[in-house]
Every structure is written in structure tokens, then in C-alpha cells.
Amino acid sequence: MNLPNKLTLTRLVFVPIFVLIYMFPYQDFGIVFQSFRILGTHISVLDLILFIIFAGCSLTDFLDGYLARKNGMVTTFGKFVDPIADKLIVNTVILLLASSSRISIIIPIIMICRDTIVDAVRLLASQKNVVLSASLLGKAKTVTQMIAIILVLLNNIVFSSFGIPMDQIMMIVATIISIASGVEYFMKNKHYVMESM
């Protein structure tokens, strides 16, 4: 297994770790995290830990694709697993954020519905031995999602001082791009769906 694929799998491993750290009942064990003021925003140590994990996953997302293209190590396995790893970490985190009311539940509902449709099209294409890669709009969706999640995890750092809900604005932008990329993906590959009718 080459390095890009190992990085992708590392991202998968950190999904359950993130969930455990986010959902652990710290209060039941009397654990209280200290809070710091960073760039005018109060951020707890727990949020910093979650940010570091998510930022690390985001970095591996960039690195695996970059290294695979640069070194000619693009594989069918990588094309298949990379978008799955992206969706698992992003969808898991936005569900957790929605569960604690840090974002609207509508956002993960829309994003997961979009991903389900895209995955269904990808499955139909795979039956024809075709591996569909992510489009530029799909990659833009992933980038905006990651930026939005980081802003939420860091309590809207910098922008909170100015009263600008940039974390929520970026979540809305990411949701809109998610819908647009889903529509684009379906329209480009709808012949795989129509063949099965």
C-alpha cells in the first residue's frame, strides 16, 4: 500500500477517535476543561483538541491527493476510498455539531442526502467498472465544509469579536455548494442511472 492510501486510511481511523473525545461524558467524571482567550475568542482545551484532530484529518486529505498526483501513485483504491474518508469525517463531525446545537440539524440532513445520491450513482458506475473521481465543485464543497467546521470548533474565532457569525455563514455556503456539486455530479453521470431503468 502506497503512502497516499495510508494517509487516507489514517483519516478513517481518526473518525471514531473524534467521536469518543467529543461525546465522552466528562462532567460525569468531574473533568472540567480550562478555557483560553485566543484572538478575542474563548476556546476550551477540548475544542482545541478536537480542532487539532480535525485539522490533521483535513491536512491528510490535501496530502494524499497531492502526493498521489505528484508521484504517479493514483490508484483505483485511492479514488474509491478517499471520498468515503472525506464524507465519513465531515458528516460525522457535522452530526456531532448538530447534536450539541452548534449548527442547524438541516445542514447534515442536506449534506448526507446529497452524499447518498452521489454514492448511489458511484455504485452504479462501479458496476460498469468505472471509478468516478470528485469534480472541482465537489472538492470546493469539501474545502468549504472543512473551513466551516474549523470555525465552529474554534467558536467563530476572530469573527466573534466583530459580531459576524462567519462560522454559520460558511456552513450555509458549504451547504449550497454541496447541493450544487450533487446536482452537477448527477447530471454528468445520470446515464448510469437511466441505463438501470
**Residue 124: per-residue pLDDT:** 82
Is the full-model pTM beyond 0.75? yes
* For residue 55, pLDDT beyond 60: yes
Q: Positive or negative CA dihedral for 97, 102, 105, 108?
A: negative
Query: Rounded to an integer, what distance in angstroms lies between the CA atom of residue 143 and that of residue 141?
Result: 6
SS3 44: strand
* For residue 197, pLDDT beyond 70: no
Query: Rounded to an integer, what distance in angstroms lies between the CA atom of residue 62 and that of residue 85?
Result: 12
Cell numbers 483560553 correspond to what residue?
36
- Could you report the per-residue pLDDT of 173-182, keeping only the tens digit for each? 999 999 999 9
Model confidence band, residue 40 (pLDDT cutoffs 50, 70, 90): confident
- Could you report the per-residue pLDDT of 4-24, keeping only the tens digit for each? 888 889 999 999 999 999 999
Question: Domain limits of the chain?
Answer: 3-195
* For residue 52, pLDDT beyond 80: yes
Residue 87 CB neighbours (<10 A): 19
Percent of the chain past pLDDT 70, that is, above it, reads: 97
How many residues are given for the chain?
197
**Residue 39: per-residue pLDDT:** 87
**Residue 171: per-residue pLDDT:** 97
Cell numbers 454541496 correspond to what residue?
178
Q: Which amino acid is it at 58?
A: S
Cell of 22: 467529543
Residue 151 CB neighbours (<10 A): 22
* For residue 196, pLDDT beyond 60: no
Cell numbers 450539541 correspond to what residue?
100
CATH code: domain 3-195 is 1.20.120
Model confidence band, residue 152 (pLDDT cutoffs 50, 70, 90): very high
